Amino acid sequence: MNDEPTDDQLMRAFAGGDAAAFERLYQRHAGPLYRFVRRLLGSTAAMRGDEVFQDTWARVIGARDRWSPQGAAFRTWLFTIAHRLVIDVQRRSGREVAVDADADADTEPWSPADDGLHPWSGWPAPADDPGDQAFWRAAGVRLLECLDGLPAAQKAVFLLHHDDGVSLDDAAQALQLGFETVKSRLRYAMNKLRTCMGAYLPAALPAARGEKSA
Amino acid sequence: VTDPNDQGTPSPDAHLQAALRHAPDRDLQPPLALSARILAKARRAIAPPPWPHRFWTWLARPVPAGAFSSVLLAGFIGLMWRDGPPPEAVAPPAVAPAPQTTSVPSVPSASADPSPNAKQAVPTELLRRTQPTAAAPTQGAAVPEVVAAAPSMAESRSASASMPSALARQQASTASASPSMKGSADTMGAPSVPPDPLAAMVVAWRAGGPESAAPRRWWEALRDQTQGRWRDAEPVEGADSLLLAGPAGEPLGRLRWEPAAVRWQAAGDDRGWRAELSAGEIEQLRRTMPR
């Protein structure tokens, strides 16, 4: 039996005056949340990451008495707050128009034929094989660059779903969007990232293979 | 891997997930100073409010507010009546009967014999006011009465004039005492949360793997022993300070042992902290400190 208290229990304990409960909550979610905020802001606004991260926790602290699960997981709620604050930062810095314009540019329906699935055919299996570490590290660097080119709306869906393991239902709730919209944005995001990563593959694969054999 | 022919819910792409897992920012953690700020904010938020705040909250309730305003009102009225009822609250004195002036001749002539100087000292207005009711021989007798009253009026005037200066002296003495009172009030108004500069370090070590157990226990022990003893101090510098790293090798901060204290400065924080400890506590902490 798992004795680890749930996020909801910790949040209630914190609202009741238990500072240690907040420390445990923070310990659980600080890393993933910080990463999410930094990735969502992208390299151009990365310096605002600390501010957004701190504001997110400040909102959590301020809402401790009003917090009630109401069907949403604490983690989903936490990422919802962070996402809203990132949008606010982008709006203030004038990037929101570009973000919206980018998201709206994908008006044509997603087509399976466009799905850049084929790049994976030459890639090593996505298992944690120590021999492929160099390849995957290079792929990770490349993926962050590709993420930078993604509209924020698609990036948020992709990161929630692929990095934080949030289900599409919860992602729709966190982003306050319809399920179909979230699904569509995820498809576009994956399609663009596969294409972007596929363009990287021809150069990276031999280099990684050479490093591995060396 | 998503099937491109499947228009349903896309499943996570294993290759993209593997690339994400190996991204250079995969172990990115918030800076320690930032964590310390957030944890301190959380502790402050749940600390009981200072007593002035609690007092005002209590006072805002109807019953105490009514009682308090009654006391204030009573105090104000008492202050107003302290030197006797105000003139308008007193019934006007009966008009002096005419015979009062006729009784003046009964005053012994020796005492009634005014000196010319005394007469000069009496305001002529007063003299005029007394003349119509007094007969010519009694004029001189009436004057000393007024003259005798004059010093007492002057005395009371000087007393009332001296009252503001007494109040001023009292206020001055209060003002001279106020700096310390103000200081204590400030202290009382501040949230009574002891600083906990090691909270972020403990959290960082708790986030580490099983190999972090020993350092984590040491940090927790240090935090427990120094709880409530931290005071602001100079930044920790010098060759005798230790640069301590976290579970991932990232610098956590600088620590220095002193004969009767431990000094700490978190990485990224420009403030230093100092906690006084006994020699025995320091010896034990130094002995058990993980290498």
Beta bridge partners of A72: none
Structure tokens at B164: 């503001």
Q: Which of A35, A144, A146 to mutate to test the interface with B (most CBs of B within 10 A)?
A: A35
pLDDT 10s digits, B15-73: 888 888 888 888 889 999 999 999 999 999 888 777 788 788 888 888 888 998 999 99
Q: Does pLDDT of A53 surpass 80? A: yes
- State whether residue A105 sits within 8 Å of chain B by CB: no
Q: What is the ipTM of this complex?
A: 0.79
| Percentage of residues of chain B with pLDDT beyond 70 | 60
**Tell me: the pLDDT tens digits for B117-167?**
544 544 444 445 444 444 444 444 444 444 444 444 444 444 444 444 444
Tokens of B165: 């200066």
Q: Can you read off the two tokens belonging to residue B46?
A: 């749940």
Lowest-pLDDT range of A160-169, A179-188, B16-25, B84-93: B84-93
Supply the angle between the helices A133-148 and B14-21 in degrees, to the nearest 10: 100
| Rounded distance between C-alpha atoms, residue A64 and residue B38, angstroms | 14
The verdict on B209 touching A (C-beta cutoff 8 Å) is no
Cβ separation A30–B1 shorter than 8 A: no
User: Which of the four pLDDT bands, split at 50, 70 and 90, describes residue B91?
Assistant: low
Cα separation, B254 vs B238, in Å, equals: 10
Token pair belonging to A34: 């910080």
The position carrying tokens 């709620």 is A77
Determine whether A92 is exposed, middle or buried from the number of CB atoms within 10 Å of its CB (0-12, 13-18, 19+).
exposed
With beta carbons under 8 A apart, name residues in chain A contacting B36.
Answer: none
The listed range with the strongest mean pLDDT (A67-76, A117-126, B157-166) is A67-76
Calculate the average pLDDT of chain B. Answer: 71
Interchain pair B35, A50: CB under 8 A? no
Residue B247's pLDDT is 81
Contact state of A57 with B31 under an 8 Å Cβ cutoff: no
pLDDT recorded at residue A27: 93
pLDDT > 50? residue B182: no
For the CA atoms of B20, B25, B30, B33, the dihedral, rounded to the nearest 10 degrees, stands at 170
C-alpha span between B47 and B38 (Å, rounded): 14
Q: Which of A127, A144, A161 sits opposite B12 (nearest CB)?
A: A161
